[in-house]
Chain A
Amino acid sequence: MSTPAILVENVTVHYGEVLALDSASLSLDAARICGLIGMNGSGKSTLFKVIMGMVKPDAGTVLIGGQSPSKARKEGGIGYVPQSEDVDWQFPLSVRDVVMMGRYGHQGFTRRPSKADRAAVDEALDRVELGEFAGRQIGQLSGGQKKRAFVARGIAQGATMMLLDEPFAGVDKRSEATISRLLRELASDGCTILISTHDLHAMPALCDEAVLLMRRVLMHGAPELVLQPENLAMAFGLDVLNRDLPEPDAEPDAEPGSEPESNAARAENRG
């Protein structure tokens, strides 16, 4: 059995008194696109932070391609596409400048770009079809173009894993389709992609698998299965009056090694 691209095992995170993740477990194979669904406060951002190693879990382990997150980071394997609200769009940088930041891990002390760096940036920009906007200030792009610029940064970086935080927020339908196509291409090249999203209807077309998160992984399986109304009700807390967490009745990937059938059925898609 191959090493999972992302392995999160029984991870618990507290912020002071607040429990953000409660023994969450998730195993994701390489070259898959996985959608992470959960309401605000369900721990999506915390899970991202744990995977990137920005938050140290109180308990549990995280492995990226079998390595510690810090090693994976140093090797430049982790690409990150931030949520729109987290970016200062007035910042005086061009699209090319932002994509070049993906190359910093490959560069020397002063991050002086080499010919190879410039070539990688141009290639990444072409790949996301932003070549003609390379000179624009980053905030002067449309919502979808902004997202693609950050995906280009991950491509220039050579990331083998990309985390996207709400990539479809504030993005029109056409751009959404472009981004989805781009992510599918990246996945078929072997990139593992984890997307946190509110946009449920985009999921079945885009994602190979979906995860319901409510401080712990309630469910992990094929999107059409996970998106069943009764499952969503569980994650989005229609029983909010009942203060207890709903007991997960389907948690196929909670134990490492057990894959949902739907994943196995799609295994032939992997390069």
Chain B
Amino acid sequence: MDLLELLLEPLSYDFMVRAIVTTALAAVVCAVLSCWLVLIGWSLMGDAVSHAVLPGVVLAYIVGAPFALGALVFALIAVTLIGVVRNTSRVKEDAAIGIVFTSLFALGLVLISVTPSQTDLNHIIFGNLLGVSIPDLIQVLVLGVVAFAILILKRRDLTLYAFDPTHAHAIGLSPKRLGALLLGLLALTSVVALQTVGVVLVVAMLIIPGATAYLLTDRFNRMLVIAPVVSAVCSIAGIYLSYYLDTASGAMVVLTQGVVFAAVYLFSPRQGLIGTRLAKARRRKAVALAL
């Protein structure tokens, strides 16, 4: 079997095509958002929001509302509760986040357990990449495009917010509103990624690509290109691997991203553990040769 055949064979199945398109889309949107999350230090917040949307999604399913709406409402509830617990008790922020998101996640699990037609909802937790239907695909497409467009159009303001919220305030922008916008987009993006990798692993898509790109460049604009490209390639590669190795697809996508991060962590020419040493050795050799 040659390479082309290897690549084309899975595409003969419609469900594989849908899986690949959905995953690539979710990967790109999550990766773009991850650039800001990683720089602001909101990784834990990403973890929290992506878990906390579960009860919202389940309730939306029960009443027949769009998943995104339920998710947004519960993302908001989660963020508010975290703020309230942190500000009105001696509990620190990381503990507040841990308490709120696990409780909401548990609420979601309880709701699933009492809702008929459990199979559908269990997919939300671990993802159901190979079972993506056309309506699912359309929902991911619409939400993904909206989130992506807002992120790209407002990228300069969001970067300013991440870098220096005081300056944002000083020139008359509202850091609060920008933070809220970013959280809203986080909730929206979580819904996009739920379908592919599931609630538990969404956070990987929201952190790893940005962190990988951050180790590769000193320019935010380049991060915004590197992160989605790396993430999309990893995701598609992950699906192919899961197809041929017959492993869990969502998990394989995340695992691929983790492996690529590890490679970059070790070999990045700028920041890598081994890469920087190799570069130094090369320079030394060049100097020795010149002498």
- Determine whether the beta carbon of A105 is less than 8 Å from that of B39: no
Q: Which of A46-71 contact B (CB under 8 A)?
A: 52-54, 70
Known A80-B170, A86-B166; 18 more pairs at CB < 8 Å = A52-B169, A54-B166, A54-B169, A76-B171, A88-B163, A91-B162, A92-B220, A92-B222, A93-B163, A93-B220, A97-B220, A101-B163, A102-B171, A104-B160, A104-B168, A104-B171, A105-B172, A111-B156
Which secondary structure dominates where chain A touches chain B? mixed
- Determine whether the beta carbon of B171 is less than 8 Å from that of A105: yes
- Determine whether the beta carbon of B214 is less than 8 Å from that of A111: no
- Determine whether the beta carbon of A78 is less than 8 Å from that of B170: yes
Name the residue in A74, A93, A94, A109 with the highest tally of chain B Cβ atoms < 10 Å from its Cβ: A93
User: How far does the alpha carbon of A137 sit from the alpha carbon of B160 in the complex, in Å?
Assistant: 15
Q: In the complex, what's the smallest C-beta–C-beta distance from A49 to chain B, in angstroms?
A: 9
Which A residues are CB-close (under 8 A) to B220?
91-93, 97
Size bin of chain A's contact surface? 20 to 34
- Determine whether the beta carbon of A73 is less than 8 Å from that of B170: yes
Q: In the complex, what's the smallest C-beta–C-beta distance from B30 to chain A, in angstroms?
A: 19
* Interfacial residues, chain B to chain A (CB-CB below 8 A): 39, 153-154, 156-157, 159-160, 162-164, 166-173, 214, 217-220, 222-223
A157 at the interface (CB under 8 A from B): yes
Q: In the complex, what's the smallest C-beta–C-beta distance from A133 to chain B, in angstroms?
A: 13
Which A residues are CB-close (under 8 A) to B168?
104
Known A-B contacts A92-B214, A92-B218, A94-B219; the reply to A157 vs B163 at CB < 8 A is no
- Determine whether the beta carbon of B164 is less than 8 Å from that of A73: no
Which B residues are CB-close (under 8 A) to A87?
164
Chain B residue with the shortest CB-CB distance to A54: B169
Which B residues are CB-close (under 8 A) to A97?
219-220
User: How far does the alpha carbon of A157 sit from the alpha carbon of B218 in the complex, in Å?
Assistant: 24
Which A residues are CB-close (under 8 A) to B171?
73, 76, 78, 102, 104-105, 157
A153 at the interface (CB under 8 A from B): yes
User: How far does the alpha carbon of A53 sit from the alpha carbon of B168 in the complex, in Å?
Assistant: 12
- Determine whether the beta carbon of A110 is less than 8 Å from that of B170: no
Chain B residue with the shortest CB-CB distance to A71: B172
User: How far does the alpha carbon of A152 sit from the alpha carbon of B156 in the complex, in Å?
Assistant: 19
User: How far does the alpha carbon of A153 sit from the alpha carbon of B222 in the complex, in Å?
Assistant: 22
What 3 A-B pairs have minimum CB-CB distances, sorted nearest first? A111-B156, A74-B172, A105-B171
User: How far does the alpha carbon of A98 sit from the alpha carbon of B207 in the complex, in Å?
Assistant: 24
A-B contact count (CB 8 A): 73
Q: In the complex, what's the smallest C-beta–C-beta distance from A98 to chain B, in angstroms?
A: 8
Which A residues are CB-close (under 8 A) to B170?
52, 73, 78-80
A82 at the interface (CB under 8 A from B): yes
Name the residue in B157, B166, B222 with the highest tally of chain A Cβ atoms < 10 Å from its Cβ: B166
Which B residues are CB-close (under 8 A) to A78?
170-171
- The listed residue (A76, A88, A92, A137) touching B172 by CB distance below 8 A is A76
27 residue pairs A–B, Cβ–Cβ below 8 Å = A52-B170, A53-B169, A54-B169, A73-B172, A80-B167, A80-B170, A87-B164, A88-B39, A91-B163, A91-B220, A92-B39, A92-B219, A93-B159, A93-B163, A94-B219, A98-B163, A101-B163, A101-B164, A101-B167, A104-B156, A105-B171, A105-B172, A110-B153, A110-B154, A137-B219, A153-B167, A157-B171
User: How far does the alpha carbon of A97 sit from the alpha carbon of B159 in the complex, in Å?
Assistant: 10
User: How far does the alpha carbon of A55 sit from the alpha carbon of B222 in the complex, in Å?
Assistant: 36
Q: In the complex, what's the smallest C-beta–C-beta distance from A48 to chain B, in angstroms?
A: 9
User: How far does the alpha carbon of A76 sit from the alpha carbon of B168 in the complex, in Å?
Assistant: 11
Q: In the complex, what's the smallest C-beta–C-beta distance from B35 to chain A, in angstroms?
A: 9
User: How far does the alpha carbon of A227 sit from the alpha carbon of B153 in the complex, in Å?
Assistant: 51
Which B residues are CB-close (under 8 A) to A157?
171
Chain B residue with the shortest CB-CB distance to A93: B220
- Determine whether the beta carbon of A104 is less than 8 Å from that of B173: yes
Q: Which of A89-120 contact B (CB under 8 A)?
A: 91-94, 97-98, 101-102, 104-105, 109-111
Which A residues are CB-close (under 8 A) to B219?
92-94, 97, 137
Chain B residue with the shortest CB-CB distance to A98: B163
Known A-B contacts A78-B170, A80-B170; the reply to A101 vs B160 at CB < 8 A is yes
- The listed residue (A70, A74, A75, A82) touching B166 by CB distance below 8 A is A82
Q: Mark A202-226, 1 if CB is under 8 A from B, else 0.
A: 0000000000000000000000000
